[in-house]
Amino acid sequence: MLLAATATGRPPNFKVESKMKRSLTVTAEKFPTFLPSDVERIKDTFALKLAARIERLPVQVSFAEDRIMSSCVTPLMRNETSPVVLLHGFDSSCLEWRYTYPLLEEAGLETWAFDILGWGFSDLGKLPPCDVASKREHFYKFWKSHIKRPVVLVGPSLGAAVAVDIAVNHPEAVESLVLMDASVYAEGTGNLATLPKAAAYAGVYLLKSIPLRLYANFLSFNGISLETSWDWTKIGRLHCLYPWWEDAAVSFMTSGGYNVTSLIKKVSQKTLILWGEDDQIISNKLAWRLHGELSKARVEQISDCGHLPHVEKPAAVAKLITEFVRETCRRKEIQSIS
């Protein structure tokens, strides 16, 4: 889970449609002032384009006195289709979606990219608890304040566990699910939850380290150059540069983390399961186990792809999500007529 979550970036054989190339010319981006200044050291044009669009929206939660200014990317358009909300993996951010997000928008979908509490670029200067219940409430209150319609919730890796947890506890917010290379059978943070605080802080310091994140990139992708991996590492650890990041990471680690295995059979929403056939982090055999435990699910495997399909095969992922959303909308129209 740790290694998979830290690997973000574009594989060297990634090809962007010509239309997208034309729209993503290399220009000087104006970044939100709340982003760490190291964002200017990133070379990846797609990451820079998405970083320039990150906003902070207020979210009032029960466990914090002040509203949490919560980071996200908001849609350029609102339309009749179900909103698509993109979560991210463990200790990551919305920048995971830098290649797939513009393709979903190009397809005409109302697309949000949401930073899970404790990760990403929200303002946690007054550190709230970052356990599972707090992450769940934070998302729900964000949805209730800013989206207000049932969504297609997309969760990659540990984000799939986040999505399952939300879908079961707040079914009114989730119309359907897309789970990618889903980390839903892990038993939380395991023994890490019992570590003394000093050892926990040592562990999260390692999590932020450049060598570990470089290694994670090489583990997740084939044929990656050191230069490319270095740029991806800068993207993947950008959110770790906030002064509260270590406290938030320890808060989650010592809380026990996500253990949603018992919730899977309670998911009532229609679900699309996506899995990279060459995933070296979580075996694609678990796609079929997950399919068997969900009442309304189908599986699509993506060939020549590892643990992060939305990074490695963005065109395929965008196509499958778009078809799934449109199918959901057609089904709703038929039901309303009948």
- 78 domain-assigned: yes
- 244 domain-assigned: yes
Structural domain harbouring 57:
37-337
CA angle 309, 1, 138 (to 5 degrees): 85
Instruction: Please say if 307 is a catalytic residue.
Output: yes
Structural domains counted in the chain: 1
Using an 8 Å Cβ cutoff, are 34 and 56 in contact? yes
Sheet containing 68-73: order of strands? 54-59, 68-73, 111-114, 84-86, 151-156, 174-180, 270-276, 297-302
DSSP state of 266: G
Each residue's pLDDT tens digit, 126-173:
999 999 999 999 999 999 999 999 999 999 999 999 999 999 999 999
Assess whether pLDDT exceeds 60 at residue 189: yes
Each residue's pLDDT tens digit, 71-97:
999 999 888 789 999 999 999 999 999
pLDDT value of position 10:
44
pLDDT value of position 3:
39
- 104 domain-assigned: yes
d(CA 258, CA 204): 17
pLDDT value of position 54:
98
- 76 domain-assigned: yes
pLDDT value of position 117:
98
- 14 domain-assigned: no
- 10 domain-assigned: no
The answer to pTM > 0.75 is yes
Catalytic residue, chosen from 115, 131, 165, 279, is 279
CA angle 251, 255, 268 (to 5 degrees): 120
Share of the chain above pLDDT 90, in %: 67
Which residue type occupies 192? L
- 13 domain-assigned: no
Each residue's pLDDT tens digit, 291-305:
999 999 999 999 999
Assess whether pLDDT exceeds 60 at residue 57: yes
Instruction: Please say if 181 is a catalytic residue.
Output: no
Catalytic residue, chosen from 88, 138, 307, 310, is 307
Catalytic residue, chosen from 93, 122, 134, 157, is 157
Those residues whose C-beta lies under 8 Å from the C-beta of residue 179, and which sit 6 or more positions away, are 155, 160, 163, 164, 271, 272, 273, 274, 290
CATH number, position 259: 3.40.50.1820
Phi, psi of 196 (to 5 degrees): -60, 155
Q: Which two tokens stand for residue 180?
A: 């990618």
Assess whether pLDDT exceeds 90 at residue 228: no
d(CA 90, CA 116): 9
Bridge partners, residue 54, by sequence: 73
- 333 domain-assigned: yes
Lowest mean pLDDT among 179-193, 204-218, 257-271: 204-218
